[in-house]
Amino acid sequence: MWLKTLKIIILLAFLFHLQKHIRGLLILMFSIVVFIGCRTQPGTTKPDEGERHPYSVIECEPKREFILPSVIYIQKILRRRPFLIKNLENVMRKFLQSLELFEENERKKLAIFTALAFSQKLSGLPPETVFQPLLKDNLVAKGLVLSFMTDFFKEYLIDNSLDDLISILKRGKVEDNLLDIFPPAKRSNESFSEHFFKEGLVALVEYNEKKIFEVKLKEMKSALTTQITEEADISEVIETVKLQVRDAKLPDIEVVRVLWDVLMDAVQWSGKNQQQNSNAALRQVKTWSELLNTFCTTGKLELELLYKVQMQCYEDARLVKLFPEIVRSLYEADVLAEDTILHWFRKGTNTKGRQNFTKALEPFVNWLEEAEEEE
């Protein structure tokens, strides 16, 4: 009895091993067929045994019209044999980790294949599988990663938007460190812009510049918030802003917007009633009026500040009735000129709450006009 049981165990083990062997053989054939082009019959891995398969990434021309059929062919295989999905992921990881073993032409084919795979939403190819293995120091230093990613970007953006590309880069965990694909000696924002502008990827350059700009604005806002919260000396705050503007080359209009946002965010809204909150907001404006005055140096910048006040009062219920008082305080502190206020009143283009605000500001405007007539 025990001998019969042993035979059954041995037979089951053999069948399990055979099943794994067949599965492994299918996986091996899948990898060979789609990238090399050998025959699909089991056991025929030599290129001289019969005709080669028509779908092959490495063997075809480095153009999308020749590589796309391979992508579509893989899609059909994966639908029928889902267990091969993991194999495709493993094969791609090994290929990309070994870019230096391929010829330049072959690396371009792999880049086009990868771009088309994402465009066709090929299952089994997570973005992190593609991008993370690329970031090996030796591959980056030789410029292979930059070349691969450039070909990938150019091919992918033919059929997809920049937003789609950024989404893939985020999922691949490389969107925040795109400079890492550049060799260390060329790892700068200037090199990024120069390289991709030369390659015709202007949209990618603009996206990166916008991102850098947003980071610098965020840094300035953070530094200002800390100083204002700690009630630093106003001269110190002014110097901090000037330094940030000079180093980051921030546009004056953005500086004015950030200044107003930071000042309003720092208001202590702890009053028990509306009047106390209003007093706190007005006190903040008067306390930091010199800061605003330093950077509102033209009528255009003054008008932008007035539009910011309008939007803040429109969106914040605590300030909605405070608009005329804020404008008057900014006028008395020489932040807003009479001409700027009158221009906004007569020709302002921002419609958010404009009808109510102009009505509320009308008494002050009438006073300005009467004073102007008397002069």
Average pLDDT of every residue of the chain? 81
Mean pLDDT of 83-98: 80
Q: What is the mean predicted confidence (pLDDT) over 196-214?
A: 93
| Number of domains, the chain | 2
Whether 58 contacts 37, CB under 8 Å: yes
* Type of residue found at 200: G
Judge contact between 344 and 306, C-beta under 8 A: yes
- Three-state SS at 47: coil
| CATH assignment of the domain containing 295 | 1.25.40.180
Asked whether residue 240 is assigned to any structural domain, the reply reads no
pLDDT bucket at 54, cuts 50 / 70 / 90: low
The pTM of the full predicted model, rounded to 2 decimals, is: 0.71
- Of the candidates 166, 182, 200, which is a domain's last residue? 200
Condensed to tens digits (0 to 9), the pLDDT of residues 272-292 reads 677 777 888 888 889 999 999
Q: What angle, 0 to 180 degrees and rounded to 10, lies between the N-to-C axes of helices 354-374 and 323-332?
A: 40
Q: Is the pLDDT of residue 80 over 60?
A: yes
Is residue 59 a contact partner of residue 36, using CB atoms and an 8 Å limit?
A: yes
Do 260 and 157 reside in the same domain of the chain?
A: no
CA atoms within 13 A on the CB side of 188: 5
Q: pLDDT at position 168, please?
A: 92
Domain that holds residue 257: 252-374
In this prediction, residue 23 has a pLDDT band, given cuts at 50, 70 and 90, of very low
Backbone angles phi, psi at 259, to 5 degrees: -60, -45
Burial class (CB within 10 angstroms; exposed 0-12, middle 13-18, buried 19+) of 162 = middle
Does some domain include residue 163? yes
Which has more pLDDT, 22 or 47? 47
Of 248, 149, 247, 254, which is closest to residue 204 (Cα–Cα)?
Answer: 149
Q: Kindly state whether residues 39 and 185 are assigned to the same domain.
A: yes
Choosing from 200, 230, 264, the residue where a domain stops is 200
Q: What is the pLDDT of residues 119-140, one digit of tens each?
A: 888 766 788 878 888 889 999 9
Q: Is the pLDDT of residue 229 over 90?
A: no
Q: Is residue 341 part of a domain?
A: yes
Q: Is the dihedral of CA 14, 19, 22, 25 positive or negative?
A: negative
φ, ψ (nearest 5 deg) of residue 151:
-65, -40
